[in-house]
Amino acid sequence: MGGPSRHQRTHRGTARAGSVALVSIHPPLHLSSSLVPNSGDPLRRSSPSPPGAAMVSADTIRTVIGIIGNGTALVLFLSPVPTFYRIWKKKTVEQYSAVPYLATLLNCMMWVLYGLPAVHPHSMLVITINGTGMAIELTYIALFLAYSAGADRRRVLLILVAEIAFVAAVAALVLSLAHTHDGRSMVVGILCVVFGTGMYAAPLSVMKMVIQTKSVEYMPLFLSLASLVNGVFWTAYALIKFDLYMTIPNGLGVLFAVGQVVLYAIYYKSTQQILEARKRKADQVPMTEVVVDGKNGNAAAGNGRY
């Protein structure tokens, strides 16, 4: 009963070698999950994306769009600077109205309230731009109060106090009576939609005047384009992580701005014709006066000869 024969030893060695070969040819499945997927092996596949990667990407895009939206909104907030520089220089408000600035101030205050963490969390970009807008509009209104007088000043001051009291009352009621973020967002959001839509609808009166006069003289293209770009970015910001209360007013703002740009394209040529005709008429007045004076002079000379 000796040891295994030579043939048996050879057979066992082959079995061991075969088992090693099997391991090397068919590795465990989890080892192939990190290999490059383009190797042609159906078992080789890329590792799955970490959980939440898509959300991080969407949040990043939304943040970038919100930052750009802050910039375009800032341009709109600063657009009346030449008007108030003129008021400051002349020390009078002339025929300018404070209503647009009071309306914008109320809209900004409501959006700041909407963006508070206690009302609608994760809305810091909404707070920053509307807080900046509040400061700018308050500066405009302060200049208006400084250079207006009598009934106009009292009316502006009363509206300003009423707006501040209204926003404070809404904040107190919402924070004390609504106990969830959804409830608070709904109440404040509906008010923001109302006031925001009113602010964006203000250019409708200008658009009506453009159609009636066939002139875009008092509807600057720059402001129309700035309003369009601003509305597009804030609508995109609202759609990425869907926010109905931001989508409605900004979506309407885009529609109104597109309407202004279309009107500008339609009536640009007629506006140039109207301006040229006005200039020709203004140039003809001095010429007419010269001719009349010449006739009078000849008549006077004739009378002198007689």
Name the residue with higher pLDDT: 306 or 285. 285
| Contact between residue 72 and residue 224 where contact means Cβ atoms under 8 Å apart | no
pLDDT of residue 289: 52
Distance between CA 137 and CA 78 in Å, rounded? 9
- Rounded CA separation 68/226 (Å): 12
pLDDT band at 158 (very low <50, low <70, confident <90, very high): very high
Helix crossing, 203-213 with 244-305: angle to 10°? Answer: 40
For residues 18 and 36, give the distance between their C-alpha atoms in angstroms, rounded to a whole number. 28
Q: How far is CA 205 from CA 202, 218, 256, 268, in A?
A: 6, 11, 11, 18
pLDDT tens string 53-109: 445 678 888 889 989 989 989 998 998 888 888 889 888 887 778 888 898 899 999
Length of the chain equals 306
Encode pLDDT of 33-63 as tens digits: 444 444 444 444 545 555 544 456 788 888 8
| Angle subtended by helix axes 99-115 and 150-177, to nearest 10 | 20
Q: Structure pTM?
A: 0.65
| Of 162 and 277, the one with more pLDDT | 162
- pLDDT for 17 equals 42
Instruction: Tell me the C-alpha distance between 122 and 180, whole Å.
Output: 15
Q: What is the pLDDT of residues 266-295, one digit of tens each?
A: 998 888 888 888 888 877 755 555 555 555
What per-residue confidence (pLDDT) applies to 302? 45
The secondary structure of 266-301, three-state, reads HHHHHHHHHHHHHHHHHHHHHHHHHHHHHHHHHHHH
Q: How large is the average pLDDT for residues 1-18?
A: 48
* Between 306 and 251, the higher pLDDT residue: 251
Name the band, by pLDDT with cuts 50, 70 and 90, for residue 3: low
The string of pLDDT tens digits covering residues 182-238 is 999 999 999 999 888 877 777 777 788 888 888 887 777 887 888 889 889 999 998
Residue 57: predicted pLDDT: 78
The residue whose two tokens read 């995109």 is: 236
Token look-up 């973020």 returns: 181
Better pLDDT: 39 or 124: 124
To the nearest 10 degrees (0 to 180), the angle between helices 244-305 and 221-240 is 180
